[in-house]
């Protein structure tokens, strides 16, 4: 192969991680910078290039690089821009692909982080060989990447797959950062888990280890308590999985995927979250799909997943 490598970069709210990846998903080298340290986008691009260009040289030079894939919140596949991201330092429309093509010298493809995870899963992970699946990312928020007929669903404008913002509770739903109420992500993100735990502590008298936590309860606290047998903490995961499974049943009615693949920190809770999710999905799905849709955990390793996912964009 003339060009055996691609560059993957994940632009997170805190860190920007970039690496050089081969066709099997091996990461040759990886490095990172602090996203928030660069209020000017031009400085940010220069800082990435200053670290990335020597890595490319070490891999054999720019002629070995087929392209660069970038995952960023509100990254738009069609335009190559970041458009009005809420958690990155650059406001408005940021010409992400254009500026990195100039700085690095290879074609650049952009998408959002959840779509990048889905492409990574299809290229290197649990969705290898699948033509129809949905990747759900359970992190600070809930994101999704939808694959239909082997293609990422970008929709008319490049922003398809915002399944964290379907409405799970139309009555008395939780306030979401998007301005609406009852979004799936207010319940099934790491933040949502912490929120459920706080509600149980505040609104019930149920005894729980969660009552002993000083400061804000985190999803990690809930996990630790649940693993120590705390009933209230286990109930938090059951509640979370039930709402998630109900939503997944509706997603199946949309695109009839072969599998739904869960990705991100919450999946570390294992059966605590997977069991109620699967139960609720099976209980709520239309009968023609009962027992048919696989519920899987991502096979992308956590530390590498974002870079791998973004890099996979560059093969296409």
Which residue ranges make up the site for a copy of itself (CB under 8 A)?
84, 131-132, 146, 148-149, 151, 153-163, 165-167, 169-171, 178-180, 246, 249-251, 253-258, 284, 286-289, 292-293
CB of 128 to a copy of itself, least distance (A): 15
CA dihedral 213, 218, 219, 222 (to 10 degrees): 0
CB of 139 to a copy of itself, least distance (A): 18
CB of 64 to a copy of itself, least distance (A): 31
- Contact partners, residue 200, CB within 8 Å, separation at least 6: 206, 208, 210, 232, 235, 236
Q: Which is nearer to a copy of itself, 189 or 219 (CB)?
A: 189
Number of H helices, E strands in the chain: 9, 12
Question: CA dist 68 to 8, 118, 201, 279, 280, Å?
Answer: 6, 17, 47, 40, 39
Q: Which is nearer to a copy of itself, 163 or 190 (CB)?
A: 163
Q: Which is nearer to a copy of itself, 150 or 270 (CB)?
A: 150
CA 174, CA 186: separation in Å to the nearest integer? 6
72 strand-pairing partners: 11
Task: Please answer whether residues 189 and 195 qualify as being in contact, where contact means their C-beta atoms are separated by less than 8 angstroms.
Answer: no
User: Phi and psi dihedrals of 109, rounded to 5?
Assistant: -115, 140
CB of 209 to a copy of itself, least distance (A): 30
CB of 182 to a copy of itself, least distance (A): 10
């Amino acid at each position: 192969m003339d060009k055996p490598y691609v560059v993957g970069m994940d632009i997170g709210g805190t860190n920007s991680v970039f690496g050089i990846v081969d066709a099997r998903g091996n990461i040759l080298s990886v490095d990172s910078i602090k996203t928030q340290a660069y209020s000017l986008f031009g400085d940010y691009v220069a800082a990435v290039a200053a670290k990335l260009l020597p890595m490319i040289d070490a891999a054999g030079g720019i002629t070995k690089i087929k392209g660069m894939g970038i995952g960023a919140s509100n990254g738009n596949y069609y335009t190559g821009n970041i458009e009005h991201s809420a958690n990155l330092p650059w406001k408005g429309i940021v010409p992400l692909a254009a500026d990195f093509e100039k700085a690095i010298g290879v074609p650049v493809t952009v998408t959002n982080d959840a779509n990048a995870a889905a492409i990574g899963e299809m290229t290197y992970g649990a969705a290898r060989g699948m033509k129809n699946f949905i990747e759900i990312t359970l992190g600070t928020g809930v994101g999704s990447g939808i694959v239909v007929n082997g293609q990422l669903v970008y929709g008319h404008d490049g922003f398809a797959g915002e399944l964290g913002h379907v409405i799970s509770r139309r009555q008395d739903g939780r306030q979401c950062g998007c301005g609406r109420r009852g979004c799936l992500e207010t319940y099934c993100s790491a933040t949502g888990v912490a929120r459920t735990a706080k509600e149980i502590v505040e609104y019930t008298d149920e005894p729980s280890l969660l009552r002993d936590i000083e400061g804000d309860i985190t999803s990690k606290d809930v996990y630790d308590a649940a693993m120590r047998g705390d009933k209230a903490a286990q109930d938090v995961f059951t509640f979370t999985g039930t709402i998630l499974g109900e939503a997944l049943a509706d997603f199946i009615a949309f695109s009839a995927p072969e599998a739904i693949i869960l990705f991100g920190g919450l999946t570390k809770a294992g059966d605590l979250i997977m069991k109620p999710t699967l139960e609720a999905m099976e209980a709520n799905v239309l009968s023609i799909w009962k027992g048919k849709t696989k519920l899987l955990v991502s096979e992308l390793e956590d530390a590498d997943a974002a870079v791998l996912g973004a890099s996979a964009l560059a093969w296409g």
